[in-house]
Amino acid sequence: MISALLGVGLAALLIWGVGGKDESEKTKAYYRNEGKIFGTYYNIRYEAESDLHDSIKAALQAFDNSLSMFNPHSVLSAVNANRDTTTDALFEAMWREATEVYTLSGGAFDITVAPLVKAFGFGRKSDQLSAISPQTIDSIRQFVGFDKVELVDHHVYKSDRRVQIDGGAVAKGQACDVIAELLSEHGCTNYLVDIGGEVVARGVNDKGEAWRIGITKPNLNNEGAQEELQEILAVSDIHMATSGNYRNFYYAGEERRSHTIDPRTGYPVQHSLLSATVVSSSCMRADALATACMVLGAEEALDMIERAQDAACYLIVAKKDSLTVVTSSKWEKMIEK
């Protein structure tokens, strides 16, 4: 089912190969592991000498223990609760990437946006608000901003204790990188890792063909309709992430509120960019850049991606009653097999 493959993510639909080689002719087999993590689903296919699901689940749990906002014992939760804690390698890798993309995007990507996201009621439908005053937003913005925190000697320091960190915009991508590294360490050269639609692919599928990944077509007018694909890619070496505004939203009266909050203004974005798919040097970076694209809008997103040099993007933009696709200059080159 498409919904099972995508989980709650906004990204690519994976199209798995079927069939395979005669087991008697090889020492390795293709395994498929799946489950739920971070409130979404993971689907992992790889060629190996044995099933690695126990190792995969252990790595995902270690990741959860570092960067989950919903695990009260995680490093991130300790930072948000202002408990004295020592940051670990996973947290610090996220921080470095967040710092780079914050600068590259001119502040459009900001992991301190959590209080604004909560104020607009995203995360739990019961929290969705019909009205929120400009005064409330101005008040919250006093403790939103990546310039209000710093990481020194494995400790996070805040200029205001109310600052909250949300690593959700990089977590799925970073977790994909972690699992891909684990598979590589076990000698796997053919694998595909999908966590909530963010993807790392290497080598070929069990047919000996490039992995096929579908980019979902945004659907604004027919809620509950079967998903359609905008495009299908055949790839053998890629880190890819997608962010979009066409699923996670609600209406407050006549106002449509997207879950993408611009940390620079304090309000949900209002522009025609519906979906941003980014490929980059890591899935964590692609994830962060895709989020930044959705904040910036198509024109500024293209400019940012061109300046990033190690990235390319595929943007789906609403134009009256139709959809338009815009790609950056390196898109075709970076998705070549």
pLDDT band at 15 (very low <50, low <70, confident <90, very high): low
Contact 287, 173 (CB under 8 A): yes
pLDDT band at 303 (very low <50, low <70, confident <90, very high): very high
Higher pLDDT, residue 13 or 88: 88
Neighbouring C-alpha atoms within 13 Å toward the C-beta of 158: 17
- For residue 8, is pLDDT > 70? no
Question: How confident is the model over 155-195, as pLDDT tens digits?
Answer: 999 999 999 999 989 999 999 999 999 999 999 999 999 99
- Identify the pLDDT of residue 125: 45
The tokens of 150 are what?
């710093």
pLDDT band at 140 (very low <50, low <70, confident <90, very high): very high
Q: Please, which residues have CB within 8 angstroms of residue 256's CB and are 6 or more apart in sequence?
A: 249, 250
Averaged over 230-237, what is the pLDDT? 93
Question: How confident is the model over 110-120, as pLDDT tens digits?
Answer: 999 988 888 87
Q: How far apart are the C-alpha atoms of 174 and 168, rounded to whole Å?
A: 10
Task: Look at residues 106, 98, 123 and name the one whose alpha carbon lies nearest to residue 264.
Answer: 106
Q: How far apart are the C-alpha atoms of 129 and 126, rounded to whole Å?
A: 8
Q: Please, which residues have CB within 8 angstroms of residue 206's CB and are 6 or more apart in sequence?
A: 17, 18, 19, 20, 21, 30, 45, 47
Q: How far apart are the C-alpha atoms of 159 and 85, rounded to whole Å?
A: 17
Helix spans in 254-297 (H) = 283-296
pLDDT band at 221 (very low <50, low <70, confident <90, very high): low
Averaged over 254-269, what is the pLDDT? 75
Q: Please, which residues have CB within 8 angstroms of residue 169's CB and are 6 or more apart in sequence?
A: 109, 111, 243, 287, 288, 291
- For residue 122, is pLDDT > 80? no
Question: How confident is the model over 186-209, as pLDDT tens digits?
Answer: 999 999 999 999 999 999 999 999
pLDDT band at 269 (very low <50, low <70, confident <90, very high): confident
The pTM (predicted TM-score) of the whole model is 0.87
CATH of span 86-168:
1.10.3980.10
φ/ψ of 259, rounded to 5, equals -75, -10
CA angle 108, 109, 115 (to 5 degrees): 100
CA angle 109, 110, 113 (to 5 degrees): 125
φ/ψ of 16, rounded to 5, equals -75, 145
